[in-house]
Structure 1
Amino acid sequence: MKKGIHPDYHKVVFQDSVTGYKFLSGSTKTSAETIDWEDGNSYPLIRVEISCDSHPFYTGRQKFTQADGRVDRFNKKYGFANK
């Protein structure tokens, strides 16, 4: 294999944006945001839209119901204030 062409593989924490579920896994992705994990180390934090904790295929049911619109969900998710 050629040297220097493969990305760095390291541990990161993925967090489900909907349920808050977090898990530690290996990835080549990186993030400027970090989180302190249960083992006392600090890892990059990557927020994901859906994970095994919130996907209906894995859970067998919907875990949440949304009554508000798309714009309201976006603003609430990313912390924008109502104007």
Structure 2
Amino acid sequence: MKQNIHPDYQQVVFMDTTTGYKFLSGSTKGSEETIEWEDGNTYPLIRVEISSDSHPFYTGRQKFTQADGRVDRFNKKYGFTDANAKPE
């Protein structure tokens, strides 16, 4: 391996500003702001707007916009029903 081309990794705490969720991870990013972690050590704090704690994909609160097709939406909008459909 070539010397002096790899970034320096350090432990940092990422904090989701939406939910307050914090996690410790390795990163090349640094910060002037610090926080004391659960192990008693002080680490740089990096604030992020979205993490796995607040992202809709991970939380299951995502919207499914294409649930039904164009014909179904048209029929729903104008109140048409299927005459051949079996009654429930």
- TM-score normalised to structure 2 length: 0.67
Aligned length: 62
Measured in 2, the distance between the counterparts of 1:3 and 1:10 equals 18
Large movers: runs of 4+ above 4 Å: none
> Alpha-carbon deviation of 1:17?
0.9
**Are 2:56 and 1:56 aligned?**
yes
1:31 alignment partner in structure 2 = 31
Greater Rg, structure 1 or structure 2?
2
Partner AA of 1:56 in structure 2: P
2:9 alignment partner in structure 1 = 9
Measured in 2, the distance between the counterparts of 1:6 and 1:32 equals 22
Q: Identity rate of aligned residues, in percent?
A: 81
Measured in 1, the distance between the counterparts of 2:33 and 2:5 equals 25
User: Which structure 1 segments of 5+ residues have no match?
Assistant: 63-83
How do 1:64-79 residues align onto structure 2 when only pairs under 5 Å count?
none
User: Which structure 2 segments of 5+ residues have no match?
Assistant: 63-88
Partner AA of 1:28 in structure 2: T
> Alpha-carbon deviation of 1:31?
0.6
**Structural RMSD (CA):** 1.1
- TM-score normalised to structure 1 length: 0.71
